[in-house]
């Protein structure tokens, strides 16, 4: 599934990185510990987190993740936003809690 | 090929910039993506450790035809007990660093899992040297 399609189906906001909306999603990873994501997330995953600082972009870029979803209405920091546009890795958002959005996205991408 | 980079303690904004630049270089050299990933994970963790724990540091990268050697030398507090630091979950990171999602005690284990050879030497009150060696061909 493309990021664009997930945005529509899961009713996500698109904050930045619009050029990456055609990135293909091959899986998902839910975690707020950056080293865990660094160590274990697979390339092409959509990453669900509450971390909003610029280092999430460093991780997303190094791990070649498809997109990031910020939970509970969190917004990316300004430099995170800019980096997302530079890397073409979208930052998406939802008001839902982590558990809830993880479940929704899990069902959508594994169907 | 030989490169040198400087890292400033506490500068989280630029954490990962060396890893990102090394990744680009290895891609240009057509290194196996699995090996690039391993190298970049190990380097990123080591780079972030300088930012999170040390005052400043230098990263020396030497890329040969069949291997990459990375040496990270920092001026910082040093590690009193390296075996303890290698344990998953052990961390001395500050509260603010932990709030960012770092400091979960996974950095050194990640480095070990993603390098063919990892050498950690440290002197308390002076600094730490991390050496990462990976073969570039399987």
Where in chain A are the domains?
Answer: 3-110
Q: What distance in Å separates residue A110's CA from the closest CA in chain B?
A: 25
Structural domain including B108 reads 2-135
pLDDT at A111 over 80: no
pLDDT at A16 over 80: yes
Question: What is the number of domains present in chain B?
Answer: 1
* Rounded mean pLDDT, B27-50: 96
Residue of chain A whose alpha carbon sits nearest to that of B111: A39
Phi-psi region of A73 (alpha: psi -120 to 50; beta: other; left: phi over 0): left
Residues 48-107 of A with CB under 8 A from B: 49, 51, 53-55, 58-59, 61-63, 79
- Stated as kind and residue range, the H or E segment containing A29 is strand A27-30
Instruction: Indicate the class that CATH gives domain A3-110.
Output: alpha beta
* CA atoms of B91 and B105, how far apart (whole Å): 5
- The candidate with the shortest Cα–Cα distance to B62, out of B1, B106, B127, is B1
Mean residue pLDDT of chain B comes to 96
pLDDT of residue A106: 97
pLDDT of residue B58: 98
Residues of chain B with C-beta less than 8 angstroms from the C-beta of A79 = 13
Tell me: the pLDDT tens digits for A44-94?
999 999 999 999 999 999 999 999 999 999 999 999 999 999 999 999 999
Asked if B104 and A36 come within 8 Å (Cβ–Cβ), the reply is yes
Tell me: the pLDDT tens digits for B45-100?
999 999 999 999 999 999 999 999 999 999 999 999 999 999 999 999 999 999 99
pLDDT of residue B137: 87
At A100, list the tokens.
């809830």
Q: Which CATH number does the domain housing residue B77 bear?
A: 3.30.565.10
Q: Check the CA dihedral A92-A95-A101-A107 and report its sign.
A: negative
pLDDT at B20 over 80: yes
Residue of chain A whose alpha carbon sits nearest to that of B106: A35
pLDDT of residue B138: 75
Tell me: the pLDDT tens digits for A27-57?
999 999 999 999 999 999 999 999 999 999 9
Q: Are strands A27-30 and A67-70 parallel, antiparallel or unpaired?
A: unpaired
């Amino acid at each position: 599934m493309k990021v664009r399609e997930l945005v529509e189906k899961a009713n996500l906001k698109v904050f930045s990185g619009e050029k990456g909306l055609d990135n293909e999603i091959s899986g998902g990873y839910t975690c707020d510990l950056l080293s865990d994501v660094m160590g274990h997330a697979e390339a092409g995953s959509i990453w669900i987190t509450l971390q909003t600082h610029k280092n999430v972009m460093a991780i997303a870029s190094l791990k070649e993740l498809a997109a990031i979803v910020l939970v509970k209405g969190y917004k990316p920091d300004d430099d995170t936003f800019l980096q997302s546009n530079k890397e073409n890795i979208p930052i998406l958002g939802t008001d839902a809690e982590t558990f809830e959005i993880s479940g929704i996205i899990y069902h959508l991408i594994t169907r | 090929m030989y490169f040198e980079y400087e890292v400033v303690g506490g500068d989280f904004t630029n954490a990962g910039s060396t890893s990102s630049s090394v990744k680009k270089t290895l891609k240009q050299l057509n290194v196996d993506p699995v090996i690039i990933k391993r190298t970049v994970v190990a380097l990123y963790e080591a780079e972030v450790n300088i930012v999170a724990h040390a005052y400043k540091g230098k990263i020396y990268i030497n890329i040969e035809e069949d291997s990459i050697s990375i040496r990270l030398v920092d001026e910082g507090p040093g590690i009193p007990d390296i075996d303890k630091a290698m344990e998953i979950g052990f961390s001395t990171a500050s509260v603010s660093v932990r709030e960012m999602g770092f400091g979960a005690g996974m950095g050194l284990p990640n480095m070990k899992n993603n390098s063919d050879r990892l050498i950690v030497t440290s002197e308390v009150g002076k600094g730490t040297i991390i050496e990462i060696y990976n073969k570039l061909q399987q």
